[in-house]
Amino acid sequence: MLSSLFRINGLTGTGGLFFSRPHKRLLLFLLLWTCLCYFVFRINFRDDLIKDFYNTRELLAKVVETGKPRRGALSGSGAELSTTTSMVNIFDAQPAVDRSPSISETDLVNDLQKKLPNLPIVYLQENKNKNWHYKNQSSCAKFPALYDLHFNNIYWQETETSNGTFFFYGAYLDVRKKNQLGPTVRILSMINRIQPTIKTFCQLWFKGSKEPLIAKVYEYKYIWYHKWGNYKTGLFQPYLIACPIPKSHWHKEPVSVSVVEHMCDIATNNLRVTYNKLPPGTPKKEFAVCVKGLDFPSTDLSVRLVEWIETLHTLGADKVFLYNLEIHPNVTKVLNHYVDKAQHAHLQHLYLKSKLTNKRQNELIPYNDCLYRNMYRYEYIALLDIDEVITPIKHSSWSEMMKYVRTSALAIKNETRASYNFRNVRTWGLNKELPPYLHMMQHVYRSANYTKPGQYIKCFHNPEKALILHNHFPLGCLGVCTSYPVDISVGHLQHYRKDCVSTLKKSCDRDYKKVSVRDTSLWKWSSTIVNRSAEALSTLGFFKNSPTGPSGILSEPSSKP
C-alpha cells in the first residue's frame, strides 16, 4: 500500500515523501479555494472597503452606505438605539429646515402678482365672494371668481365662442396721443380663425365700481402677413384686440378686462390691465431691448449671453427684457445676476400647449407684450436676438448716433418715423487678439455684402407710433407707418450667426461668404466690454482656474489689419 503512495528517490521505503502528481493538483486546488473563501468572507465584513470602491467610480457620487446597520443607527425593529452616531448626536441634532415665519395671505397674493403679471390676482383676492353684476340683472356679466377662469397654462386664459377659440395673454391701456380711438384697452390674443368676424364684448372693471362697463370690441388687428404661411383656419393666429373705452370713463383706469361673446356672459377670462406710466416729472429713459422666448434647455450660452448683455449696456441700453421658455441652468444663473443688478427684467412666457406648429406666430406675442409694457417708459425699443448688435460706426453710443439719425431723417422729410432700421451683415471670421471666450470680440471678419435693403433688418422703434411689431419691422402704426433706413456709414446690424438663414442658403456662399472684410467697429468699446464681461463671469464663478477670474485690465487692441 505504502509503495503505491510514496516515492523515495525512485526507491520504495527510503528518502523524502512526495505526493503523486494528481494528488498534488487536488491539494493545490483545495488550498486556493480555501484562500478565496476566506478573502470573500473578510471583504463582506469590511464596509469601508466597499464604500471606498463605490465612491471612486464617480467624482461627484454620493457616499454609498452598505452592510448591516452600525451601532447608533435606528433599525427597522427599533431593537437597537444609541444616542450618538459616528457623526452626530441624534437627539441634539437640529434638521436644517426652513423656520421662517409663515407668509401672510396678503404677502402671498402680492408675490403671486409679480410672478403672474397678466392676472389681476390682487383685485380678485380683494373682491372675492362679492356678488357684482351688470346693473340690476343679477345673472348678467357677473364678476368672475378665480375658479371661473379657464387656463391653457398659467400665462394664457381661454374662451370658447360659437366661431372659434380665443386665448388671451395680456391687456394694456393705450392712452397715447396719436391713438385716434381715444383711451383703449388692447389685448394680445391667439385665435384659431382667419379674419374673425364674430362680435364680442369687453367687460371692463374699475376700482370702486360694483358693476362692469360694457364696450364693443372694435377690431382684431392681425399680427402676421398671409404670405408668410400658416394662413388657414384651425391654426392659432396672433391678434391685437381693441376695446375703446366709452367717453364716460376716459378719466379712469380699468383694473381688469374680460372678453365675452355675449355681453351678459359669465367670463372665463379676466386679464389685469397693464398701465406702466411714469410718475409726474420723471423723464423717459432712452433704450429698451426686448428678446423673444429663450428656448435652449441643453445648450449653455451663458458666456455668450454675458458678453452680449455687457455689449448692449456699454452701447447705451438702459434695460434688457428677456422672456424665458426653457433654458440651461447656467443661463438662468446669468439672468438672475442681471435681475439683481436691476439691469434687466426676466419675464416668463409659455407657448400654448400643443400649438407649437405655429411657433413663429406665437413668438410675436412676447415682442408686443414688451412694447406695451414699456411704451411710456422709453424713447426707443429694439427687438434683438442674442447674436445681434446694432453697432454705431461714426459715434460713441446709441444715444449720440440716434440724435444724428433723427436730425438727418427730419431734414429729408419733416415727419416722425415709426422706426429707424439698420441693414444686416453676417459676421464669421476669428481674431485672436482678445480673450478666446468672448465670441463677438473675436469675430471681426464679416461678409463684404449686406443683405438687401429691407431684408432681415432690425430697428429702433418709436413706441409713440408703433401699434404692432414683427421682429424685423412694424406691421401697424398709429398714423402713417414709416421706417427710416439708416445709412451703413452711420450704423448697421452685426449678426453673429454661423450660417445664412434658410431662405438665403442657396446664395450664401456666392453672395455673402465669398468675400469678407475685417470690421473692428465694436473694438471701440473692447476694453469696457471685455473687463465688464470678465468681472461678471468672475462674480458668477465661471472661471475654472481662479475664483477671482483673470487678473489685469485689458487695453484696447489694435484695429489695424
**Which residue matches cell numbers 476694453?**
527
**Calpha distance 382→371 (Å, rounded):** 9
- Within 10 angstroms of residue 326's Cβ, the number of other Cβ atoms is 12
State pLDDT tens for residues 408-458: 999 999 999 999 999 988 776 666 678 889 999 988 888 877 888 888 899
Three state DSSP letters for 500-557: CCHHHHHHHHHHHHCCEEECCHHHHHHHHHHHHHHHHHHHCCCCCCCCCCCCCCCCCC
pLDDT confidence tier of residue 394, bands split at 50, 70 and 90: very high
**458 or 498, which is more confident?**
458
Average pLDDT, rounded, for the chain: 82
**pLDDT of 402 strictly over 80:** yes
Q: Give pTM, 2 decimals.
A: 0.78
Structure confidence at residue 512 (pLDDT): 64
Q: Rounded distance, CA 468 to CA 475, Å?
A: 5
List the domains of the chain with CATH numbers. Answer: 21-72 (no CATH), 111-274 (2.60.40), 285-539 (3.90.550)
pLDDT of 79 > 60? The answer is no
Residue-wise pLDDT tens digits, 519-541: 889 999 999 999 999 999 999 99
Given its phi and psi angles, is residue 230 left (phi above 0), alpha (psi -120 to 50 degrees) or beta? left
pLDDT at 358 over 80: no
Exposure string (b/e) for 489-514, b if CB count within 10 Å is 16 or more?
ebbbbbbbeeebeeeeeeebeebbbe
pLDDT at 74: 40
Instruction: Render pLDDT for 168-189 as a digit per residue (tens, 0 to 9).
Output: 999 999 999 999 999 999 999 9
Residue matched to cell numbers 395671505: 105
> To which residue does cell 429729408 refer?
412
- Give percent of the chain with pLDDT exceeding 70: 78
pLDDT for position 430: 65
Compute CA distances 162 → 50, 193, 195, 200, 486, whole Å. 69, 12, 15, 11, 48
- CA quadruple 124, 127, 133, 138: dihedral sign: positive
319, pLDDT greater than 90:
yes
Q: What is the pLDDT of residue 408?
A: 96
pLDDT confidence of residue 378: 98
Residue 320 pLDDT more than 70? yes
